[in-house]
Structure 1
Amino acid sequence: MENGHSHGHGHGDSRRPTLLIILVSSTAVLLFITINLCLISVPFQIKNLAISSRTGVVDLTKTTARALSPAIDGATMASDTGFRVRRQEKKKMGGDGGAGRVEGELAMARAAIRRSVTSARNASSSGLLSVPGEDVPFYAAVYRNPAAFLRSYEEMEKRLKVYVYEEGEPPLVHDGPCKNIYTTEGRFISEMEYSGMRTRNPTRAHAFFLAFSVTNMVHFLYRPANSDRTKIWRFVTDYVSSVASKHPFWNRSAGADHFMLSCHDWGPSASMANRKLYENSIRALCNANTSEGFNPRKDVSVPEINLYDGTIPAELQQPAAPGLFARPYLAFFAGGRHGAIRQELLRLWKGRDPEMPVFEYLPGGRGGKDYSNYLLQSRFCLCPSGYEVASPRVVEALYAECVPVIVSESYFLPFSDVLRWEEFSVAVLVEELPRLKDILEAVPPSKLMRMREGVKAVRRHFVFNSPAKRFDVFHMILHSVWLRRLNVKIL
């Protein structure tokens, strides 16, 4: 992305907050993933993800991947301290603010998801799945656990209610860019305002949305002349303080059932303005960089989508994209020297091989339709990180039914909690770039065809619709929030 990428430290609470939540390791996120699964810099697979019959939690000792230890054990769940905090809060609030009913609903959802895992055991781990209400079957191979995902999604549709704080005015709150590289931020904020999952009754809410736009803050509050982000941090600090003082819900959970969304490079930095927002809240970020504080246990990786005029280019909406073996190019990239990874890619491959057109800029300054045509004529589409880890080229490749080649470090890929990215993309380490052509040519045709089928299958999860449709990118983002919310229990 084009904007700067330095990071500051926030001016949040001087005292470390007392968390009034416990992280429930037996819930949905850990049914689907272990934490490092899709970090591009550490590629590996989980072969056996087991559910412990004794505790109902994922037994991480039976996996082949490294993972964080379970967030909590049975002894912690029964902690007197936690329940004592709960009683104090109920006394202050004159009740539990609806938390008891909400937590009961979440407990039923957790149990239903666990049952789906133990009963189905991925009996249809390959082939097509028929989903009620969907005309196009689901390709099971691209999901980590198809049964658990579909049951979790069903539970989300049935139960999830999100309260959108009404504090704040456009353009800084309840508004955002709906075109160009920050499309995801504005479109999500807009769709959330009218979603059927929005509730006007905060006591019924499972999650609370802080609907500010970091991109609009940068546009209206930031002054490049002095590189001072103080006004942005101050706005975030004041906004969180405002909702915390007017409503009991932020303090009840120390922010752990609240979420923000940002696709600006400075989204992570803006969240540092409030310590609880940074440490406890669900941060839905395009810049999902684990080396800069992104925590896959609680944060959500959001796809970066660049819609120049607010819609997918017409060339990429055609009913049937060309077959992979009818495409003349092995791989394609066009883009500026933004960041070290792109610079290395261009140094090694720019203009070097006619089978792999790699441009800094398209010949003659052409873009638009010509760019889309290159995507459609390539079997692999190169998606190197720029200044930050995310790249809109990943989604562009999916739209063109071109297999994405992810070249990044410390990037937690979007929807990795449910999607098997290894089934429809190729991960290349930066140090492997000199061998890039050999790596891509070594992919067997049969595997390439399976990847193409995977690309076609997941495309629906990366498309915005107006109004939103089931399983589209808006609802997949919400599902990722839902999974993180299932991992939090308010005492």
Structure 2
Amino acid sequence: LILLLFISVSAAASPSPYLSAATLFRNHERMLKTFKIFIYAPSKPFDFTGDPASSLFYESLRRSRFLTENPAEADLFFVPFSPLTSTRSLARLVREIRNDFPFWNRTLGADHFYLSPEGIDFSSDRNALELKKNAIQVSNFPVASGNFIPHKDITLPPIFVAQQDVNLTEPPLFLAYLEWDGKTDTDLVNELNRDPAFVVDVISSPPSIYLRNVRKSKFCLFLRHGGDLTRIVAAISSGCVPTLIVDRPIQDLPLMDILKWSDLALFVAAAAGDSVRLKRILTGVGEEKFSKMRGSCAAAAGRHLSWNVPSQPLDAFEMVMYELWLRRHAVRYSRRE
């Protein structure tokens, strides 16, 4: 069975990737003028070597205009720790912050945030549990099941090499392209391989072949439980509309408070061996709708999903900061006398 989970029809005359463009640009200016973050001093130096997105976010934050040395004027508090930190050490870190500063206990950590590339799991320790349940987690996309709480947590847009010479007026040669991990949904993939409208490569294919096939395809297929989901952003940049074959809604996409992902991608639930219905869904997307989605993809990738050094207005770093700014109004618990 294949069910089309969500394909919205944009009423706008021109492609727009935003949930609300007016709200974003108005609030963005307010954020730049008022948003302040206090960083607790780490116990020892550390970095995010081998993790480009986390490393770039961390270094951009440390150099940003948003920092303040006066915790009294801070909207949010950043808790820095190494990605190798154990649960026991996290609990000890929170306990030290609770004892040495007055800010954690005001909200039980709800106005704090931390960076953990893979996300942290639940713990029986009170301090680690408050960090998990209350503080805002910033992590890489995608996040392992159980390590992401949708109403508060944020994911970083994956770093990708922007395609500068993409011709959106050139008609694609293939209906869809899949970079396959060689083991997930084999029945479906075998059927796709027999249909010339689809192109399937294994993940070990050279980057040049990957980019060539992405740019020649209308839709790029992604299996939620197999393949490299971080390449969704690269597909968007290349003008290939992402199509995610999933078994449940995806709640950890980057910039979900900003981008209207239903206009950037297709989300399709598919059982193994349903290539016929999958093809029917893809061919059912009219050219006008496809052109609008492709245009929205280009607008999003060219501005808000791109990382820069130093950060540029409205780029990926500033959009993550905007998502943090939206979460600055934490519930403050009154202290019992």
**TM-score when scaled to structure 1?**
0.60
Contact 2:6 2:267 in 1 (8 A): yes
Q: Cα distance 1:296–1:290, how it changes in 2: closer, same or farther (>3 A)?
A: farther
| Match runs of 1:164-175 below 5 Å | 164-171=39-46, 175=47
How far the C-alpha of 1:243 sits from its partner, in A, is 2.5
Structure 2: state its 5+ residue gaps. Answer: none
Contact 1:271 1:277 in 2 (8 A): no
The residue aligned with 2:134 is 280
Contact 1:272 1:278 in 2 (8 A): no
Structure 1: state its 5+ residue gaps. Answer: 1-39, 48-124, 129-138, 218-230
**SS of 1:241's equivalent?**
helix
Alignment of 1:151 with 2:26, yes or no, is yes
Letter in 2 for 1:379: K
Once residues 298 and 9 of structure 2 are traced to their aligned partners in structure 1, the CA distance between those partners, rounded to angstroms, is 24
Q: Encode CA deviations 1:361-413: one digit per residue, 9 max, x unaligned.
A: 4xxx541222222222211111222369x820211112212111122334212
Q: Cα distance 1:327–1:477, how it changes in 2: closer, same or farther (>3 A)?
A: same
Once residues 466 and 475 of structure 1 are traced to their aligned partners in structure 2, the CA distance between those partners, rounded to angstroms, is 12
The residue aligned with 1:163 is 38
| Match runs of 1:315-330 below 5 Å | 316-318=162-164, 320-323=165-168, 325-330=170-175
The residue aligned with 1:90 is none
How far the C-alpha of 1:269 sits from its partner, in A, is 1.9
**SS of 2:120's equivalent?**
helix
Letter in 2 for 1:431: A
The residue aligned with 1:456 is 298
The residue aligned with 1:269 is 121
Q: 1:380 aligned to 219, 223, 232, which one?
A: 219
Once residues 474 and 240 of structure 1 are traced to their aligned partners in structure 2, the CA distance between those partners, rounded to angstroms, is 26
Alignment of 1:200 with 2:69, yes or no, is yes
How far the C-alpha of 1:42 sits from its partner, in A, is 5.7
Q: 1:447 aligned to 285, 289, 293, which one?
A: 289
Alignment of 1:249 with 2:94, yes or no, is no
The residue aligned with 2:316 is 473
Letter in 1 for 2:181: G
Letter in 1 for 2:318: H
Alignment of 1:335 with 2:180, yes or no, is yes
Once residues 464 and 152 of structure 1 are traced to their aligned partners in structure 2, the CA distance between those partners, rounded to angstroms, is 21
Once residues 296 and 379 of structure 1 are traced to their aligned partners in structure 2, the CA distance between those partners, rounded to angstroms, is 30
Q: Cα distance 1:332–1:283, how it changes in 2: closer, same or farther (>3 A)?
A: same
Alignment of 1:421 with 2:261, yes or no, is yes
Q: Encode CA deviations 1:212-240: one digit per residue, 9 max, x unaligned.
A: 242xx1xxxxxxxxxxxxx6212222222
Letter in 1 for 2:250: Y
Q: 2:234 aligned to 379, 396, 404, which one?
A: 396
Alignment of 1:369 with 2:208, yes or no, is yes
**SS of 1:486's equivalent?**
coil
Contact 2:219 2:241 in 1 (8 A): yes
The residue aligned with 1:176 is 48
**Higher Rg of the two aligned structures:** 1
**SS of 1:428's equivalent?**
strand
Once residues 148 and 443 of structure 1 are traced to their aligned partners in structure 2, the CA distance between those partners, rounded to angstroms, is 29
The residue aligned with 1:431 is 271
Letter in 2 for 1:429: A
Once residues 196 and 23 of structure 2 are traced to their aligned partners in structure 1, the CA distance between those partners, rounded to angstroms, is 45
Q: Encode CA deviations 1:165-223: one digit per residue, 9 max, x unaligned.
A: 1123233xxx213x5xx322111111111111111222211011122242xx1xxxxxx
The residue aligned with 1:93 is none
Q: 1:142 aligned to 17, 30, 33, which one?
A: 17
Alignment of 1:355 with 2:197, yes or no, is yes
Once residues 4 and 96 of structure 2 are traced to their aligned partners in structure 1, the CA distance between those partners, rounded to angstroms, is 40
Once residues 396 and 352 of structure 1 are traced to their aligned partners in structure 2, the CA distance between those partners, rounded to angstroms, is 26
Once residues 208 and 123 of structure 2 are traced to their aligned partners in structure 1, the CA distance between those partners, rounded to angstroms, is 37
How far the C-alpha of 1:285 sits from its partner, in A, is 2.9
Q: Which has the higher strand share?
A: 2
Contact 1:299 1:484 in 2 (8 A): no
Q: Cα distance 1:436–1:262, how it changes in 2: closer, same or farther (>3 A)?
A: farther
Alignment of 1:210 with 2:79, yes or no, is yes
| Match runs of 1:296-311 below 5 Å | 296-303=150-157, 305-306=158-159
**SS of 1:474's equivalent?**
helix
Once residues 288 and 488 of structure 1 are traced to their aligned partners in structure 2, the CA distance between those partners, rounded to angstroms, is 28
Contact 1:186 1:213 in 2 (8 A): no
What is the total number of aligned residue pairs between the two structures?
A: 325
**TM-score when scaled to structure 2?**
0.85
Segment of structure 1 superposing worse, 145-154 or 466-475? 145-154
How far the C-alpha of 1:352 sits from its partner, in A, is 2.2
Q: Cα distance 1:445–1:472, how it changes in 2: closer, same or farther (>3 A)?
A: same
Q: Cα distance 1:271–1:185, how it changes in 2: closer, same or farther (>3 A)?
A: farther
Contact 1:382 1:393 in 2 (8 A): no
How far the C-alpha of 1:414 sits from its partner, in A, is 2.0
Q: Cα distance 1:199–1:270, how it changes in 2: closer, same or farther (>3 A)?
A: farther
How far the C-alpha of 1:359 sits from its partner, in A, is 2.0
Once residues 290 and 48 of structure 2 are traced to their aligned partners in structure 1, the CA distance between those partners, rounded to angstroms, is 38
